Structure 1
């Protein structure tokens, strides 16, 4: 899986999204995996596995939802103040 930082996502989002069409892409912040971008087909296969837990943005537990929103805000440069 290719890895990119949130800063790289801000500078080269098109290239990173193109890479995600080929294979899942990990977005990291401060050296830790925070988000994974994958195709809809890959996602459907993932949620079909009973031993793997996957959430959509709206059905994620509060702590995971908060982390997802923080990551997305960092990528698009918004502030939730």
Structure 2
């Protein structure tokens, strides 16, 4: 994550993964998850919540699962691509 200018994070429900956008044309698969009814519903709910607040979302990175501290934090905003 060091050195990347994150733009947004989205759940790709068809591929069961999280995708990070780091610029106008660069995207990476950030993580995959096991496709179940529960994970699909959670991904759909997260995307719906993100849409309902105008695309505002955040990414917080913890050093480990037991940590209460964040070692990285980004406020992100989905924006439509600029017209060409």
TM-score (ref. length: structure 1)? 0.31
Structure possessing the higher radius of gyration over alpha carbons: 2
TM-score (ref. length: structure 2)? 0.30
Kindly indicate which of the two structures has a greater share of residues assigned to strand: 2
Kindly indicate which of the two structures has a greater share of residues assigned to helix: 1
